[in-house]
Amino acid sequence: MVTTRRPATGVGPDAPRCLGELLELDAGPGALAVADPDRHLDREGLRRRAGQVAAVLVEHGVRPGDRVGIHLESSVETMVAVHGVLRAGGVVVPLDPRGPIVQVGAQLRDCDVRVLIGGGSARRLAAVVDASPVTVALGPDEGPPGAAAVPWSDLWGASPVPPRVSRPDEPAYVIYTSGSTGRPKGIVHTHASAMAYARLSAETYGLVRTDVVATLSPLHFDQSTFSLYAAPLVGAAALFVPDALLRFPASLTQVVADRGTTVWYSVPTLLVHALRRGALDQRDLSALRWILYGGEAFAPNLLAELMARLPGARVSNVYGPAEVNQCTYHHLDGPPSGDEPVPIGRAWPETQIELVAPDGQPVPSGEVGELLVHTVTAMAGYWNQPEVTRAAFRRRPGADGRVVPWYATGDLAVERADGELVFVGRVDNQRKVRGHRVELESVDAELVRLAGVEQAIAVVVGGAEEDARIVGLVIASAAFDPTAARRTLAGVLPGYAVPSELIRVADLPTTATGKVDRRGAALLVPDTDAPTLPLR
Amino acid sequence: MSDDLDSLELDLLAFVGDLVLTDDEPFDADTDLLLDGLVDSMGVVQLVHWLEARLGTEIEPADVVIDNFRSVRAMVAFARRRASTGS
């Protein structure tokens, strides 16, 4: 099966040629360009500040192609910083400002980041600098030891520079994902793939200048590219909220309402939190016209409940691993009925999708196959890892018969009789926790390193009403201390990958081949109504 | 009731101490628990459950806002306001 879509409608001669030029188009006087709960900038103000950041970056030796780390909470500054880097011709490397230092340091070393635009506590920044090749930090008032600091206040005295025009095949940003081996994998998107994504998503959702787009996920999560690039492409405004706000649905919905948000994009978990605890009956969300969700499946009954609560908004299921940005969509015509999963839909424009059997042969409609995708929005590869990149792509004929690279998603899907694709699982042990990718092997590896642990396996439990969470099952000696163990894990794994519980077991089930049976092990986790505290 | 609230700060500090997963970030009643991600989204849910059990009353979703939960001191102030208004 090959599904192909016609090319998207062309863009005008004045269209930006690269991400650095995205702010050049005039959106009209005073048009809101970016906002957070406390501040906002119009298009002119955003362009000017991004130009100033670019000027200071160039002054500090940033050359086209150099990677610049962004270690900031989502905010107006984030938008300024990202576009500043792009205007200087630099490559944006978004980082998790609350991720483990070990992880952030490994990412900064992997793509050799010398200049960081940073916020957060002095203590945190000092640790990041210490663990990385960074020598210049933009943002902090005082330099962390080992790095020169340029405070924000100094930046606003600089003369803005015009954008450097980057070639389509030059890298624009690198988003990190954890591999199963523990070595970070930097997904490299070029100006061509990023611009194609901005254009196709703006077209698919009919974005216009008056839209206020809120991508409610952290910067280092690939969903953020929708606000960062698709919104400015059409002169729409991007709303950013700090991570803390994502933990308080009632505060979040207040900001979303106050800012007149028209497009909400997040993982389903956040929408479920908004539905349950967002005080929606007291919020005016009448401006909301699109709810986009992605990263994981949305339980049909909860989605139906949400749609009943927000009847003015259309809902679309967004699908696509970070390696290809997005590749399919499914606009819901009405609330889902029954327990049928919502399809991931059909290929969007300039994209081909094929479901194949393990031998690479296309599967007939109705049968499960791995989803391969050939698209203009695909990554160039993983940073500095040619072998891993080669393994991620299959070379096979495209629609016109020429052999082209197809990204092998590792996702299993089936094509329904009506041509819609439905996600059914994974070929490996990658799982989604609140929309984040977790390779369970990488959690296993950290579990068995803990003091007193003889054998261990990580499983995912929950989902739908209860947040999906990771539980570690361990066979351990008396020396094992679950509380200390979770602290150790929090130092090496991102928050969503830290097991919420460590359960001591006497034995673990094995498969016929003698390996630990992950599915069987998951049955050892007792049912709970609510997240529980760690055992102690 | 007031005795109960007087010990709330200490009890909360102990509970939050268990929630916080880093040893190296010291914290007290005024520490911004949200700034450096000391407490994540699941932690917030656990905090709300714990407070509900401790206060013996349900907390409205509309009250679970950043200003009421930013620090241990903010949570104690929120509990006192509720007690004084009888809600």
Domain boundaries, chain A: 40-166, 346-426, 430-522
Whether A244 sits inside 8 A of B34 (CB atoms) is yes
Q: What is the pLDDT of residue A462?
A: 83
List A176's β-bridge partners, or say none: A186
* Domain count along chain B: 1
Distance from CA of B55 to the nearest CA of A (A): 19
Q: Smallest Cα–Cα separation from A291: which of A308, A279, A283?
A: A308
Per-residue model confidence (pLDDT) at position B23: 61
- C-alpha count within 13 angstroms, C-beta hemisphere, residue A508: 24
Residue range A284-320, pLDDT digits in tens:
999 999 999 999 999 999 999 999 999 999 999 999 9
Q: pLDDT by residue (tens digit) across A360-412?
A: 999 999 999 999 999 999 999 999 999 999 999 999 999 899 999 999 999 99
CATH topology of domain A346-426: Luciferase; domain 3 (2.30.38)
Which of the residue ranges A119-128, A447-456, B64-73 would you say has the lowest mean pLDDT? Answer: A119-128
- A462 CB neighbours in chain B (<8 A) are none
Which ipTM did the prediction report? 0.88
Candidates B39, B63, B66: best to mutate against A (most CBs of A within 10 A) is B66
Q: B36, A124: Cβ pair inside 8 Å?
A: yes
CB within 8 Å: A250 and B65 = yes
Is A135:A144 a contact under the CB 8 Å cutoff? no
- How many other C-beta atoms are found inside a 10 Å radius of the C-beta of residue A45? 16
A528 pLDDT band, cuts 50/70/90, is low
Question: Which range has highest mean pLDDT (A118-122, A167-171, A272-276, A441-445)?
Answer: A167-171
Q: Which of B18, B60, B66 sits opposite A248 (nearest CB)?
A: B66
Chain A interface test: which of B16, B21, B70 (most A C-beta within 10 Å): B21
The CATH number fitting domain A40-166, selected from 3.40.50.300, 3.40.50.720, 3.30.70.100, 3.40.50.980:
3.40.50.980
A493 Cα to chain B: minimum distance (Å):
12
Instruction: Please judge whether A273 and B41 are an interchain contact, meaning their C-beta atoms are less than 8 angstroms apart.
Output: yes
Between CA A320 and CA A327 the distance in angstroms is 5
Tell me the C-alpha distance between A400 and A403, whole Å: 9
Least confident of A100-109, A126-135, A407-416, A482-491: A482-491
Task: List the one residue out of A358, A372, A499, A497 whose CA is nearest residue A439.
Answer: A497
Distance (Å, whole) CA A432 – CA A439: 9
- Residues of chain B in contact with residue A533, where contact means CB-CB under 8 angstroms, are 18-19, 46
Q: Above 90 in pLDDT, residue A63?
A: yes
pLDDT at residue B24 is higher than 70 = no
Q: What is the pLDDT of residue A529?
A: 46
Residue ranges with strand state E in A296-402: 314-319, 328-331, 346-347, 351-356, 369-375, 381-382, 393-397
- Which domain, by its residues, includes B57? 2-20+28-85
* Cα–Cα distance measured from residue A302 to residue A294, given in angstroms and rounded to the nearest whole number: 15
Mean pLDDT confidence for B50-71: 92
Q: How far apart are CA A27 and CA A70, in angstroms?
A: 26
C-alpha A92, offset from chain centre: 14
Question: Phi/psi class of residue A477: alpha, beta or left (left: φ > 0; alpha: ψ in -120 to 50)?
Answer: beta
Residues of A with CB below 8 A from B63's CB?
250
Min mean pLDDT across A94-98, A134-138, B27-31 is at: B27-31
Protein fold of A430-522:
GMP Synthetase; Chain A, domain 3 (3.30.300)
Contact state of A124 with B21 under an 8 Å Cβ cutoff: no
Closest Cβ opposite residue B64 in set A244, A250, A531: A250
Please report which helix (H) or strand (E) contains residue A28, including its range.
none
Q: Which residues of A53-73 are buried (b: 16+ CB within 10 A; e: fewer)?
A: bbbbbbebebeeebbbbbbbb
Confidence of residue A465 (pLDDT cuts 50, 70, 90): low
Q: Residue B3 — very low, low, confident or very high, per pLDDT cuts 50/70/90? A: low
Domain of B71: which CATH number? Answer: 1.10.1200.10
pLDDT tier, A15 (very low <50, low <70, confident <90, very high otherwise):
confident
Rounded mean pLDDT of chain A?
Answer: 92
Q: Mean pLDDT across the stretch A223-244?
A: 96
